[in-house]
Structure 1
Amino acid sequence: MNATTDDGPRLLMSIDGGVATFTLNRPRRLNAMDHGPGSLQRELVDALSAADDNPDVRCSIVTGAGRAFCSGGEVGAINTLTTSRDWYWFLRHEDEDNERIRQLRKPTIGAVNGLCLGAGLIMAAHFDILVASDRATMGFIETRFGGTGVDVIAYHVGAQWAKFMAMSGELLTAQQAKDIGLIVAVIPHARFAAKVADLGRRVAAMPVQAVEMNRRVVNGAMTNMGWGSQKDLALALNAVTNGDARDMAASDGRLFSDLMREGWSSFKEARDAPFREPWLEQNATAPSE
């Protein structure tokens, strides 16, 4: 299914030189995603699976239109979730499609062109290689109001940085994301599309069978380190935490459930007010000579 919005088809695709490029195309909604049947995430993963079976494709690239890669979960879909059970199945659908990405035979490059938050960052963590524009910002805003979801990030950046992202409400610049190993390169925005295409062609030039086996070796190592069992545990805990989030209090003492009734602007202001100043940037020190 190729659904359309006011921006046109919500997923764009092109193939050039053995590289399939998929663009999340909901720029007015900052490419927010829903999950499960009929969702943008499902449409993307189905398209990646089709590319995996296409002999003309040797590598896939996923990016976003406008100023966001993916701003996270679709607010309209999230607002319908009222119980931990609702959250469990919502998150289960999300995780099943993310795991389908990891099971692909051909490599996927995540080209983070801008905002990459929450569910968008979780999905990106399932790609094989991540690069980012120097305009990109990454993190988990949902931890500011009781949400969770940083478990897969720990496999990329280690426990301490994953905890920092979960416990501080901090959003990372592209350079900070590179410094901790979340991405492999920061690219000037003006050259971003061209440089990502270069990387895609380089990966596509590698022997197909060798690439498939080597990525399976790395993914197998992550599985042996507990990737699957940890995700199952995290999914259950995330469902409980998100189900209880409405009854958690913002920093000003008001319940998020009351703020939701006041409207999105009140909720967003209370959620984000304590976190406007980036702690890392303020406290970073240059290495001693």
Structure 2
Amino acid sequence: MAMYSFDDLDKEKADCIHFDKLLCELSNITNRSISDVSVMLYRNFIRFGGKHPFDGVEFHFYDYNSVTGFYTNSGFEKECLKFLYNISLGKDYYEDPNSINSGNYYIDDEFDSYHANFSGFYFKATEIYNFLKYNDFPIPTCILSDLPRLEKLYEFRKKIIDKDSESCLAALDDIFGKSKNIDDLENQIEDLKNQINELELKIPYGLGKYREDDPLEIAIKVRNELWVNYNEDDRVTIPTQDWVVKKLREEYKKFGMAEIQALAIEKVACPIKRK
């Protein structure tokens, strides 16, 4: 059975880089704004797509606790990406001054009375070092506390990456005959990833996350399922309001859905103005 040693815990702590520290130091060392640094990280993370590294080396966003260690999943990374997106727009962010809410951040938007709330996040020094080094970015001091180990890991990983890249390119050359087709494919992949990202950013925050009977999620479901066969030239295809309301109250009976709530959901879900 694998065991954690004190050295393992020390290495883990050294590997933990707070997002604010990385953004500030990269901003200083490159003489670029924090917004520019955020855009660079945002766009590269999108290119990774959460799968095989698109540019050779990928990094992730993490939650970190000194007791449980690093943690991440697609939902957490999606929220971190939204946070980074807001910073990329040049919006100011600040940590909740209440120590009880330490780690919670707010976006300061002068045009919006609602200040979005996000959780702070971390990078792994090993990952961000590999990414910056491989792509010829300067290395900030916050990730140099264990430089010899980082360099060894980088050289080892680079050999694997370069070897994989060569074999992949050779395989594509065999398939398509001309290497220029590789650029066409990469451009198509990039366009698709950008389209996916734009669609994901349009998904309402917290949809179905906090309650099973989320009214907005139900309204979207009603629109997609009950209006899918709608034909504006055929009134028979229009679901009646009474029928939709009755169906909603029966389907969500266990949540005690009231008629007034079902009516409200039906109005949101209805894509036409009823006569």
User: Do both proteins adopt the same fold according to a TM-score greater than 0.5, normalized to the shorter chain?
Assistant: no
TM normalised by structure 2 equals: 0.30
Query: In proportion to residue count, which structure has more helix?
Result: 2
The structure with the largest strand share of the pair is 1
